[in-house]
């Protein structure tokens, strides 16, 4: 039987869970033509939210221009998309962080900003998975300042996830306990893409009652699936960046304190500043509002624990 847990497609219908507040907000923005920006880590439901909001709006499909700004995007192509967008009611741009790869990205965003005012201009929905890159554009450099409303995605609540997994198993006569779905939710930090991958493996591995041993096997399979990608991340870090990553992994809060610099061989506070800047540009960590560094990807963090920082 084909697994009902899909993790490589956009969630729709009954697979779209919770986020009622964000959905209502985006739907209202589409109605009022309020330009909207959404930036969250990869595979956290941005595209699913946008597609659901558009499907509930009064905008017809042929009134929407959707463009994915892939890594090979250049300023000429973006200019062409913007010019074509004048013929549409909504322009939806994905992976917007890639504009920072343009040599003339500031000029491009200035031109984009001039397109947005006016009653006849389309409504723009801009999303990005490079959290730090998007913060650089919209918060630090304040490009397109006050022209966009940001929608932040709250985590999908644990109960919605648990209920969905339990009901999906029950439909085919398989049983998963609430404590097991809670474990899956917690180990992934509520990340939907990883949750569905584990749920998919568990569904395929069990015929009746799901055992804890099968969950362990599913988690190990997930780590193995992503191990090459995670190994490439650490292989591309310098010695000092790895030292700092270990400090972040250990839960340090004051990265530039004398104790942290000494204990993790970070050399100096100036070096810590450079390391933080490098790791944010590589989208490995994010700095929260309290200046505390956090590892962005919860399964990368788990991989570090299980496979890399094994001296714990």
Q: What is the pLDDT of residue 15?
A: 60
Q: What is the pLDDT of residue 54?
A: 97
Query: Model confidence over 216-248: pLDDT tens digits?
Result: 999 999 999 999 999 999 999 999 999 999 999
Q: What is the pLDDT of residue 103?
A: 87
- What distance in Å separates the CA atoms of residue 196 and residue 174, rounded to the nearest whole number? 16
Beta bridge partners of 125: 36, 92
- What distance in Å separates the CA atoms of residue 45 and residue 155, rounded to the nearest whole number? 10
Residues in the chain, overall count: 312
Which CATH class for the 158-225 domain? mainly alpha
Q: What is the pLDDT of residue 14?
A: 60
Which CATH class for the 236-308 domain? mainly alpha
* Domain boundaries along the sequence of the chain: 19-150, 158-225, 236-308
- How, if at all, do strands 293-295 and 285-287 pair? antiparallel
**CB-based contact 187:218 (threshold 8 Å):** no
Residues of the chain with pLDDT under 70: 1-2, 6-15, 311-312
Indicate the fold that domain 19-150 takes in CATH.
Rossmann fold (3.40.50)
Question: Which pTM value belongs to this model?
Answer: 0.92
Concatenate the DSSP letters of all residues of 191-252 into one string.
-HHHHHHHHHHHHHH-SSBPPHHHHHHHHHHHHHHHHHHHHHHHHTS-HHHHHHHHHHHTT-
Beta bridge partners of 68: 94
Q: What is the pLDDT of residue 193?
A: 95
Backbone angles phi, psi at 175, to 5 degrees: -125, 130
Query: Model confidence over 243-277: pLDDT tens digits?
Result: 999 999 999 988 889 999 999 999 999 999 999 99
Q: Could you tell me how far CA 19 lies from the centroid of its own chain? A: 15
Q: What is the pLDDT of residue 303?
A: 98
Q: What is the pLDDT of residue 118?
A: 77
Q: What is the pLDDT of residue 240?
A: 97
């Amino acid at each position: 039987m084909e697994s009902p847990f899909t993790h490589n497609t956009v969630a729709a219908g009954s697979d779209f869970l919770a986020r009622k507040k964000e959905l209502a907000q985006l739907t209202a923005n589409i109605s009022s033509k309020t330009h909207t920006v959404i930036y969250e880590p990869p595979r956290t439901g941005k595209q699913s939210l946008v597609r659901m909001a558009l499907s509930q709006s009064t905008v017809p499909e042929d009134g929407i221009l959707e463009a994915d700004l892939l890594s090979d995007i250049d300023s000429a192509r973006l200019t062409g998309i913007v010019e074509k967008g004048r013929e549409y009611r909504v322009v939806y741009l994905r992976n917007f962080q890639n504009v920072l790869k343009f040599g003339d990205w500031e000029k491009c965003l200035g031109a984009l900003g001039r397109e947005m005012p006016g009653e006849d201009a389309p409504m723009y929905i801009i999303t990005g998975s490079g959290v730090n890159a998007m913060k650089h554009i919209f918060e630090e450099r304040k490009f397109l300042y006050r022209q966009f409303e940001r929608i932040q995605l709250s985590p999908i609540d644990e109960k919605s996830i648990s209920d969905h997994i339990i009901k999906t198993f029950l439909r085919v006569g398989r049983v998963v306990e609430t404590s097991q779905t809670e474990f899956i939710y917690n180990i992934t930090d509520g990340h939907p893409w990883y949750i569905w991958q584990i749920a998919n493996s568990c569904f395929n591995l069990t015929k009746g009652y799901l055992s804890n041993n099968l969950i362990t096997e599913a988690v190990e399979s997930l780590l193995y699936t992503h191990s090459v990608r995670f190994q490439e991340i650490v292989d591309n870090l310098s010695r000092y960046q790895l030292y700092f990553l270990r400090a972040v992994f250990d839960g340090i809060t004051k990265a530039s304190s004398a104790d942290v610099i000494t204990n993790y061989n970070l050399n100096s506070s100036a070096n810590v500043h450079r390391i933080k800047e490098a790791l944010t540009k590589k989208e490995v960590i994010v700095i929260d509002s309290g200046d505390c560094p956090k590892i962005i990807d919860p399964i990368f963090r788990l991989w570090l624990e299980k496979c890399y920082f094994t001296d714990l």
